[in-house]
Amino acid sequence: MRFPSDLRLFIAINLPRGVRASLYRSGELLALTGADVKWVEMENLHLTLRFIGGVDPSLLPALRDALAEVGTVHRRFAMRLSSPGTFPARGVPRVIWAGCTGDLAVLCALQRDVEARVVATGLPPETRPFSPHVTLGRVRSDCNVRALKDRLSAMRETDFGSMEIGAVSLMESRLSSQGPVYQSLFEAPLTFQPVS
């Protein structure tokens, strides 16, 4: 149960402005299909490692400590965003996303550690498998879905840019009449230095 005093939280990788701009431009092109999609605002584009949901503010120190520990045992790594797709892959899509390539083994290890440390704070485990992606939009109806899927197919080889991932962030999502507003509450740099 969620109470008004709860914080709505998630843990994410925030993207550089240039990559976010590239992703947002692709959404603008896809919007030309006339599909009924709620596109994610440019400043809100991110890669979710763990959605937490509503929690009591008293849990914040434990989550900050958990994320700080994650940062000390993981190194910086490279990632590229490309190849937009949909969930589900067949039928009427519900979510439009950009896929991740690069050091995916490192990204998945980071996500598993984030998950384990979040659960160690007493929160329930995530039941859905991790699928690395950045959500671009959510489909609200089947209006012009065929045109949307055709445009997505034509954009299959699109490259949205590369980045170095150097931190993970504990984010708060505040709901407003204009949509969610995200704020970083704590950022944990990835500081582990492997011995060469």
Considering 13, 20, 39, 46, which one is annotated as catalytic? 46
CA dihedral 8, 118, 171, 159 (to 10 degrees): -120
From the candidates 117, 133, 149, 151, which is the catalytic residue? 133
Active site residue 46: yes
Q: Hey, which residues are catalytic here? A: 46, 133
